[in-house]
């Protein structure tokens, strides 16, 4: 695929992402994606509740070193961001400086259900972009989402994935430094509590 064709398609795929519900979408060069093996330290310390419990999370996903080799084969990517507001109950607690463990302890299943619904909407957008890229001839197009996979109520890592055509690892799961990457390409990067949550994914193209 020529560079000009790839650039044009990356722009078109960004528009498709927006039409499909993304808050922001932007074509970037694959070389702008930052991989740092320290990202996986955050999966282990403090230990993420999905570590070793989900096929789309470490240690089942490619290591940062392995993913870096894959990444060198790609020339472009489409960054996809999906924003959704906090529910009133969560917004009140965030504004009172509640920590994430506090929120999970206090809201439990309600918080999980809220995140699940928004995450599935976001995942559909990434899937649409990946599928459209494939249909345009980019047969190595690969989508990456955010956080842990939520397609099933509970993943059984001892069994084959029940959603192999939809389930994808997160950017973090393969060692991508999401904060540095989105800041590098001119998108908003902020850890401060606000009135909304932003999920970031991407689709690799070549």
Instruction: List, in sequence order, every residue forming a beta bridge with 22; answer none if it has no partner.
Output: none
Per-residue pLDDT of 149-206, as tens digits, reads: 999 989 999 999 999 999 999 999 999 999 999 999 999 776 665 667 889 999 999 9
Q: How many domains does the chain have?
A: 1
104 pLDDT higher than 80: no
* Residue 28 lies in domain: 3-205
138 pLDDT higher than 70: yes
Q: What is the pLDDT of residue 24?
A: 96
Q: How far is CA 146 from CA 8, 138, 167, 171, 202, in A?
A: 26, 22, 11, 6, 9
How many residues are there in the chain? 206
User: What's the Rg (C-alpha) of the chain?
Assistant: 17
Report the C-alpha gap between 150 and 162 in whole angstroms: 12
Residue 57 has a CB neighbour count (10 Å cut-off) of 23
Per-residue pLDDT of 47-74, as tens digits, reads: 988 999 999 999 999 999 999 999 999 9
pLDDT band at 114 (very low <50, low <70, confident <90, very high): confident
22 close to 68: Cβ distance less than 8 angstroms: no
């Amino acid at each position: 695929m020529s560079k000009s064709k790839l650039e044009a398609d990356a722009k078109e795929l960004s528009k498709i992402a927006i039409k499909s519900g993304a808050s922001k979408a932007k074509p970037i060069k694959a070389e702008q994606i930052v991989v740092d093996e320290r990202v996986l330290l955050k999966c282990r310390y403090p230990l993420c509740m999905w570590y070793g419990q989900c096929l789309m999370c470490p240690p089942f996903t490619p290591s940062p070193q392995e993913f870096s080799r894959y990444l060198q084969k790609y020339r472009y990517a489409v960054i996809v961001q999906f924003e959704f507001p906090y529910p009133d109950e969560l917004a009140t607690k965030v504004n009172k400086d509640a920590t994430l463990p506090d929120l999970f302890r206090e809201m439990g299943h309600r918080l999980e259900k809220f995140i699940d619904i928004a995450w599935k909407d976001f995942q559909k957008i990434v899937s649409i972009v990946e599928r459209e890229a494939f249909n345009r001839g980019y047969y190595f197009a690969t989508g990456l989402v955010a956080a842990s996979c939520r397609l099933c109520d509970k993943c059984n890592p001892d069994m084959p994935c029940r959603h192999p055509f939809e389930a994808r690892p997160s950017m973090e799961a393969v060692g991508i430094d999401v904060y540095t990457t989105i800041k590098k390409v001119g998108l908003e990067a902020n850890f401060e509590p606000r009135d909304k949550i932003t999920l970031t994914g991407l689709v690799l193209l070549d």
